[in-house]
Every structure is written in structure tokens, then in C-alpha cells.
Amino acid sequence: MRTMAGRLIFFEGKKCIRCHSCEVGCQLENDAPPGVRLRWVTSHVRGHVPALREVSVSTACFHCSDPSCVAACPAGALRRRSDGVVEHLRSRCIGCGYCVQSCPFHVPKRSPAQHTMRKCSFCVQRIDRGKEPACVAKCPTGALSYHPDGKTPDAQAYGSAEGLHMVYALQGPPEEYRLPVPVPRNTVAAGQPWKWLGGLLPGALVLAWLWKRLSPTEEGDG
Amino acid sequence: MKVGDGKKKAGISRRGFLKAGALGAGAVLAPRVARGAGRPASGPAEGEIDREVASCCQFCQVRCTTLAQVRGDRVVNVYGNKGNAWTDGKMCPKGQALVELTYSPHRLLYPLLRDGSAWRRVTYGEALDAVAGQILKVKAAFPEDHAHRVVLFAPLWESHESEIAAQMALYMSGFPDICSPGDTCIGSSATALRICLGSPVSTTTVDEVLNAETLVLWGANIAEMYPPYVRWIDRAREKGVRVVYLDPRVTATSNNCDEQIMGRPGTDGALALGLARVMIKEDLYDRAYVARHVDGFTELAAAAEGYTPEKVAGITWIPAERVTALARQLAASRRTVVWLGGSISRYTNSLQSVRAIVALQALTANLSGPGKGIMNVQGGKPGGVEPFEETFRPPGLEGALSFRKVLFAMEQKRVKVLLLNSSYRRYPDARRVRKAIGNVDFVVYRGFFMDDEAALAHLIIPGTMPFESAGSQYGAQRQLVWRNQVVPARGETVEDWRFYSDLGRKINGEKFPAVKDPEDILEMVRRKCPTWAGFTKERLQKAPAGICWPCPGEDHPGTRGTLYPGNRFMTTSGKVELRSQALGPIEWSDPEGAPQAEPEKSKDFPLIFLQGKVVQHWQHTYTNWSAYMSQFSNGNYVQVHPDTVKGKGLKDGDWANLETEVGKIRVRVVVSETILPGLVWTPSHPANTSPYDGNKGESINTIVPSSWDKVSAQFNGFGCRLTKA
């Protein structure tokens, strides 16, 4: 039974001007030093004159409906909230990097300077106060928008059907943006097993426990 | 895990409570105290926010108003002010860099006096005495001939009050030479607008694009320069406004237009005359309007006569049929706004080009009224302050010298004191300027970091960062906004208005008005200038979008939209004056040094040089000291079309030398079809002294030859070459 669709960040490619304001806004809000990017904008040129365009995508954690990082984390530093946010608890993170290996989108990154992994946590400190995430607040053109009701403005958007909480309306095929196709849905199998094997057991325990606790509100989220 | 369990349950109710609280508090603006003990213990951000204070970004003239988040006496973050209808509470990365810059470990915090090859820390009082002493010495040594021996390099970007304070200090002390930033900015387009229409500012505000039928972005790369205004273009397109974009490069703005026309840089005037010719020949212009409101139509028609579509095609590289089609399209559009980019003002033919575009808008009656007008980038400085200037400008004071004369005077060792309030690297042939400054006896630098300017200084009196000072600032919509002081100034840094008021009083004694805060200066201006009468600090503080000039009374809402209601222009005749002695006959010629203009020279320098800003950087100064901004910078590089490097042994990623007749720099080659063949584009921000790799690079103006029109310098359009390094 779907009790909560989950929050959503929608990226509209044709509005992005690759100014990187979302990245900086995210870093300032989330105590990420220069070089540690929890969100990143990439651009490439597509087509030829006169239809030639520079197109961009602003990427962060996809907040999977069945996140492999949560399963892989041996420290209980990652959890999926009932609103779909995959939250990273920095105080618990031991920086082991198992999540880095497990993520099919290559989102979590180790921050040696901070001795932990870093990834987008949907600005829970802001959204829990009724505000939009920092990246959305800082986007000058409205390319990023926040939908707390979980209603996607574009059902065709990348990740929309798969229940990701960060969905993308792009100007070209997702492969061109180096996004995995098909969209990973349940992703535990990704990564290199021997590297995250050590985390599997505690991870599985966490998952099992979470599953048990949260399944009434989580089911059918995707 | 058990802890997590408990937290989750508590978290939900706490979140619900907080959400309600935040909604209630959200209606109240700064300063407010929010965020208490209820913060989720596991959130990624560190610590609490004590208060939010209304401020504004000091960089470009979008003039984003902001809310600075403060913890203790430290700014920790900044968000756009949602009460600002011009920006919708958005902002670009530059403004965010101010948080980091305020607390930069590289920042200069105390006055420093040069002591041989070292620096000696002095107090602000000692520094002030030293400057005043030097200036008084000049006055004593040259009792009859001191006027041009003390010079100030503007801008005083810190606040409008600082600008006024510096003018008061210098003029009252008998020194007219304040080198205007317009000389290296949009001086030419502002001057052309002033001569033709009566006021140097944009003739309308950006909200009017929604009422237009056609919006012409004439070289205006809004996405890169004015990011928050992209929303206005989007909204206009949603309403069916057709957006035509003229730019030789495909940029982020290309995604926001219906049609892009890519032509040769510096040929805007020829295009405008060509368009005018089609309208006149095909009788597509508004005869009645021209007869009533335009002075100089005969001269325009005569000048345009030679610019046939074929000739224009040869000059501009835009096909003849496209020129004709554009002319017909503009003539058929009932309401057209032309938005001028900054670059149009940076050629030696800028005055001519802008006049020709004014003429074009005049032919179609598009200068006044809803959905009509000409907008200028960085063109929002309110006028009407002359009545106040008269109160402190001594009647016998000589006129200011042009920058080129000041440069010559420095080379002749006639300038004794230079108040370097800004960068010298903004001038073309910057090495020559640097050398000339080396001849000045006493250079005072009002900077923030140990940069190229600091290296030339005898005394550094560091300035405050925007969060540390108050004052009014103007924006592109002719709006005045008030900036509150958010936190105390660090170290012994001082605001420009304070330094120049203190200096003025040291030199002139009681004659110089006592100024205790910027509001005193705003009040002085407001009481003398009728069009400023409504600008009280109190009103400005309550207006997150600012109030638009002219504002002739305290109950006046300010003037949005057209500046010339009923087509009453502010010229002597009240008409659009295309005929002008200052501008000379209506004509067009190639930019100085353009390869197409000088076939001889073009053998050595066949490519067209273009420079431009990138969205993360404010000119070539402050933002180079931001590590966050350096994440997106790539030092000196050039963007070139594959055809441009064909046969040169250069490919994407190679190092090359970019050479002009005055110098060369090492650049990385980026090959891309996003630029026309034959052009070389390079970012203008890098600085040698930046501590961060991405921002580090040779100052681009060291290789820009010094060419000027009557008002401002040329930065683009001349010849250059690219060779393998």
C-alpha cells in the first residue's frame, strides 16, 4: 500500500545553464569543502550547427527505492526514510567505502579530508523544516525543482518509472549523459563483490531490520 | 539500531511540529531567530543558524537580494531573498563565493605600509594620516598645478554612498580625476544611449519582455552574465514571445532562444544599418512616428543606403536573405525589446553600433511603451544626482582627464598619488599600465588580497566584504536596494565611504560634511535630487526587490517599465537624436585591428580575438580567490572551431601560444563547434596571484592592444594567432 509517494527532485535539462550554482549551494549547506562534490554538473555538446547545443545534467544521489548502499553499509550510517530519502548519517560513517562500490550510479564518494563518505542526503535539515533542498533553492533558472508530494512533472523522465527520487528530463538518450540504462531498480548485485563482501552481513542485518520495521510504509514505493 | 528506532519515531512528530513552525516563521523577514533545539541530530549540516539578515550580492547588476545566515558573528551561508520579484529569490554561484571570501585565509585584514622590501602593519589612523600627508604634500609642492597629480581608479563597488564619498573627497580637495569603470565596461553604449535618448540607462525594465512580441538578445549571453534573468526569458517564451539571439558562439543562452544568428564580432553596427535599409527601402518603418519623434532620419537613410543585404552579408558573415528576413520580421513585430550584451560596448566602433541599434528601434517605434525598449547589461545606474554634485564640486574645478591622458601623465611621472581602488588589469595593454603606475610616488591600494595591485602599492588599506558593510546599491532595473551590515568588519578593514569621508575631512576640515554612516550620505543626495526624493533607507530596507529610479516622492512607488512615457525623451529636443556632433556622422567601420580591416596585418594575426566572462567569476579580481569557484575554472584556455586549428598541428587539449601584437600567453586548446571558424574565445578572469590552480592564469588584458573609441576601450575583435607551444 502506498502511503507516501516520497519526495522528488526534478531536473529539467533544457533549463540548465551549467552555472554550478546548485553544486556550490549544496557544498555550503552541507559542510562540503571545495573538491568534495555531493552534486555535480556535467555538460557536453550534441548535434551540429545549426542544431548544435550544449546540454547539461546536474546529478546527485538518486535516492533509490531499494538502495544498495544501505544494504552494503556495515555501520548503519545509511538509512532509507519513509519519505524516500536515503539519508547518510555522518556521525556513524566509518568511511569504509563499501557503499562506494555498491552504488550503480557511482554516487557516494570518499572524502579523505573528512574521513567519511559523502553523498546527498536531500538536505534533510532543510526539508524537515518545510524548505526546499539547497540545490533547488540556489538554481537560478528553475532547472531543478522540488516536489514534496512526489508527483513527477514528467512521467517519461529518467528514473520516474523506477521510483527514483531524483528524476531527469534530458535532451538526449541517458547513455549520452553516462547514466546507466536500464535504470537500476534493485541494485545489490552491482560493484565488486569481494570489496563489499565484508559489509554484506551487517548490511543485510540492517536491511532485514529496516525491512521489517518499515515495510508497511515502504511497499510499492517503486 | 535501537537508537535509530527511537529517533525515527520521535523524528516524525518533531518534523511535523517544525514544519508548522517554519511555515509561520517564513512569513517574517530578517532578522529572525529560528532553529532551536529541534534540529534533527543526524542532519548533514553542522550546527545551528542564529539569525538571517537581509543583504545583497555586490557583484553584477542583477543585484540579487539575499538572506545571510549567521551563526554567532559569522556568516555561514547565504540564500536568495524570495521577496525579490526580479530574481524570484535565486542567485548564481558568484554571490555564494562571498561567504568563503569573507573568511578567506588569504584576506588582508590590517593596513600595511611598505617598508623597504617588507610590509609593516600600521593602524588605520596611521594609514589615513599617511595618505592625507602625501596629498597635502602634493598640494603644497604644486600650489597652482596639483589638479591632475592625485588620481583615483574607480569603481567604488562597495556602495553608492562610497562612490559619492570618494567624489566629495577628491573634488573638494581639488582633484577631478576619477577614472571611471565605464572606460573599460559599457561606457560607450551608455554614452550612445545618453546622447540619442537623454539618459544612459536601459529604457525599460526586464518585466516588459513579457509584453513584447520579439526579444532580441543582441550579443546578450544572459545565461552566463545574468543567470536569474533567464527565468524572464523562459516566461516570455511561454507567453509566445519570439527570442532571437545574436552571438558568434553557441552558449547556454542558445537553449533559451527560438533562433540564433551567428555573425562576425564587431559588425553589429553594419547589421543594424543593413536592417534599417531594408525597412526604409521596403517602406516597413513607422513614418508617422519617425516624423514626430526622430531627429536625423535623413542622415540615417543616407548612411544606410550603401548597406545592401549583400554588402552586409560580406561584412557580417550572415547570409543576405537572413538579413532581409530579420528586417522584415522586426518590422512586423509590433513590440520589440532589444537587450544589448556588454561586448557590443567593447569595440572601437561601439558608439556607432549602439546608435544604429537605437535608430532601428526608432524606425519601428520601439523605444517607449509596454513591451518595447532597449536594455543594457550593467546599465542601471540611476541618474539625476547632478543637483547634489553641484553642492560639493568647486566651480573652478577642471574637467577629468581621460584614462589615456592619465596613463600618459603617469608615464611622464606627473602623477604623485594614485588611489588604486580597483584593478589596473582591467585596462588594455595592462603591462604598460603596470609600468606607468610604477612611476607614481605613492600608491594606495584599497584591495582584499595580495594580488598584482598590492604588489604595486606603497600602502594597503584593506576593504570590507559585503556582509561587513551597509549601504545602497543600484541594479540593472534602475532599482536601488539597501544592504544591511550582517557581521562586524574583520580586522581593521574599512568601508570605502568611511575611508573617503575620513580622508576628505582630514584634508578639508569642517568644510567636509561629518558622515557617521552611509545613511547620512543617502539623505544628503535624496534631499537635493528630486528624482531621488523617495529613496529613504527605511523604505529601501522594506523592499527586497528594491525601488526603481526615478522615485520623486516618499509615497511614489518608483518607476518600472518605460523610462520615456509618451515618447518624451530626455534630450534637448525631446526627440530621438540620431544627429549628434559628439558622435559625428552616422557610419560604420571595422573595429581597430580587425583582420578584415587591415589585410596587411592580418597575415600575421588572422584570427579574431574574443574574451568573455564566465558565470562563476566576477571580472578578474575577487572570485579568483575562491576555492569553490576554482572547481569550475580551467585557467587560460581558448575555444576554437575545428576548422580554425586544421593544419596547425593543434588538437583538443594541446598547449598553444595565443599571440597578439602586444604579447602572448600560454593557453590550453579546447576544440568545439560551438564557435564560428576564425574566432578565438578565451575567458577573461584568470589571475597570476590566485592561490587556486583553476583560477590561476595570465591576466588576459596583458595581450590586448590599446585601442579606444571616444569613450571606452576595445577588448575584442582585433587580430591574434594561435601557434603550437
Binary contact (A141, B224; C-beta < 8 A): no
**What is the least distance, in Å, from the CA of A186 to any CA of chain B?**
23
> In this prediction, what percent of chain A has a pLDDT beyond 90?
67
Total number of domains in chain A: 1
With beta carbons less than 8 A apart as the criterion, state whether B442 and B420 touch.
no
Contacts of B631 in chain A (CB under 8 A): 20, 23, 34-35, 37
Q: Which fold has domain B599-724?
A: Barwin-like endoglucanases (2.40.40)
What is the spatial distance between Cα B616 and Cα B633, in angstroms, rounded to a whole number? 8
Residue A65, pLDDT score: 87
Contacts of A130 in chain B (CB under 8 A): 18-19, 22-23, 26
Complex-level ipTM: 0.90
Contacts of A48 in chain B (CB under 8 A): 673
Q: Which three cell numbers stand for residue B600?
A: 596587411
Binary contact (B1, A209; C-beta < 8 A): yes
Smallest Cβ–Cβ distance between B92 and the set A125, A129, A140 belongs to A140
**What predicted TM-score, i.e. pTM, was given to this entire model?**
0.90
What is the spatial distance between Cα B221 and Cα B202, in angstroms, rounded to a whole number? 17
Residue B16, pLDDT score: 36
Going by the DSSP 8-state scheme, the letter that residue A66 receives in this structure is: B
Binary contact (B231, A24; C-beta < 8 A): no
Residue B378, pLDDT score: 84
Contacts of A18 in chain B (CB under 8 A): 252
For B304, the 3-state DSSP assignment is helix
With beta carbons less than 8 A apart as the criterion, state whether B630 and B693 touch.
yes
Q: Which fold has domain B187-377?
A: Dimethylsulfoxide Reductase; domain 2 (3.40.228)
What is the spatial distance between Cα B357 and Cα B70, in angstroms, rounded to a whole number? 47
Binary contact (A129, B19; C-beta < 8 A): yes
Q: Which residue has the cell 582630514?
A: B506
Question: What digits encode the pLDDT tens for the residues B622-638?
Answer: 999 999 999 999 999 99
Distance from the Cα of residue A162 to its chain's centroid: 13
Contacts of A129 in chain B (CB under 8 A): 18-19, 21-22, 35
With beta carbons less than 8 A apart as the criterion, state whether B613 and B685 touch.
yes
Domain CATH number, residue A107: 3.30.70.20
Smallest Cβ–Cβ distance between B42 and the set A19, A89, A138 belongs to A89
Contacts of A89 in chain B (CB under 8 A): 42
With beta carbons less than 8 A apart as the criterion, state whether B50 and B71 touch.
yes
Nearest CA in chain B to A80: B8
Other Cβ atoms less than 10 A from the Cβ of B391: the count is 11
Distance from the Cα of residue B526 to its chain's centroid: 24
**What is the least distance, in Å, from the CA of B32 to any CA of chain A?**
15
What is the spatial distance between Cα B171 and Cα B188, in angstroms, rounded to a whole number? 24
Q: Counting Cβ atoms within 10 Å, is residue B158 exposed (0-12), middle (13-18) or buried (19+)? A: buried
Q: Which residues contact B137 (CB under 8 A, 6 or more apart)?
A: B416
Contacts of A21 in chain B (CB under 8 A): 91-93, 96, 227
Binary contact (A49, B250; C-beta < 8 A): yes
Contacts of B35 in chain A (CB under 8 A): 129
Binary contact (A125, B39; C-beta < 8 A): yes
Smallest Cβ–Cβ distance between A128 and the set B5, B40, B234 belongs to B40
Binary contact (B45, A19; C-beta < 8 A): no
Contacts of B259 in chain A (CB under 8 A): none
Nearest CA in chain A to B626: A34
What is the spatial distance between Cα B526 and Cα B533, in angstroms, rounded to a whole number? 5
DSSP run (H or E) holding A62: none
Binary contact (A21, B92; C-beta < 8 A): yes
Contacts of B695 in chain A (CB under 8 A): none
Within a domain: A173? yes
The parent domain of residue A13 ranges over 8-215
Query: Which regions in chain B score pLDDT beneath 50?
Result: 1-44, 46
Binary contact (B80, A90; C-beta < 8 A): no
With cut-offs at 50, 70 and 90, classify the pLDDT of residue A191.
Answer: very low
Select from B372, B444, B429, B431 the least CA-distant residue to B131. B444
Question: What digits encode the pLDDT tens for the residues B173-220?
Answer: 999 999 998 899 999 999 999 999 999 999 999 999 999 999 999 999
Contacts of A54 in chain B (CB under 8 A): 250-252, 254-255, 674
Q: Which residues contact A197 (CB under 8 A, 6 or more apart)?
A: none
With beta carbons less than 8 A apart as the criterion, state whether A88 and A118 touch.
yes
- Residue A211 pLDDT more than 80? no
How far is the first Cα of chain A from the last one, in angstroms, to the nearest whole number?
A: 11
Nearest CA in chain B to A75: B1
Q: Which fold has domain B125-184+387-545?
A: Rossmann fold (3.40.50)
DSSP string, A138-185: H-SSSSEEEETT---S-TTSBTTTTT-SEEEE-SS-GGGGT--SSPPS
The CA-based angle A20-A25-A29, given to 5 degrees, is 155
Other Cβ atoms less than 10 A from the Cβ of B438: the count is 11
Nearest CA in chain B to A31: B45
- Name the residue ranges covered by the structural domains of chain B: 2-102, 125-184+387-545, 187-377, 599-724
Binary contact (B673, A49; C-beta < 8 A): yes
Q: Which three cell numbers stand for residue A208?
A: 532485514
Q: Give the A:B interface size as CB pairs under 8 Å.
A: 157
Class of domain B2-102: mainly beta
Within a domain: A3? no
Binary contact (B43, A125; C-beta < 8 A): yes
Within a domain: A2? no
With beta carbons less than 8 A apart as the criterion, state whether A87 and B42 touch.
yes
Residue B193, pLDDT score: 96
- Residue A141 pLDDT more than 60? yes
Residue A201, pLDDT score: 59
> Which of B254, B255, B623 to mutate to test binding with chain A, by most A CBs within 10 Å of its CB?
B255
The amino acid sitting at A12 is E
Going by the DSSP 8-state scheme, the letter that residue B671 receives in this structure is: E
What is the spatial distance between Cα A138 and Cα A153, in angstroms, rounded to a whole number? 20
Most confident of A5-19, A40-54, B227-241, B379-393: B227-241
> Which of B5, B42, B246 to mutate to test binding with chain A, by most A CBs within 10 Å of its CB?
B42
What is the spatial distance between Cα B353 and Cα B344, in angstroms, rounded to a whole number? 8
Binary contact (A17, B252; C-beta < 8 A): yes
> Which of A17, A56, A139, A215 to mutate to test binding with chain B, by most B CBs within 10 Å of its CB?
A17
Contacts of B92 in chain A (CB under 8 A): 19, 21, 140
> Which of A109, A120, A129 to mutate to test binding with chain B, by most B CBs within 10 Å of its CB?
A129
Binary contact (B1, A140; C-beta < 8 A): no
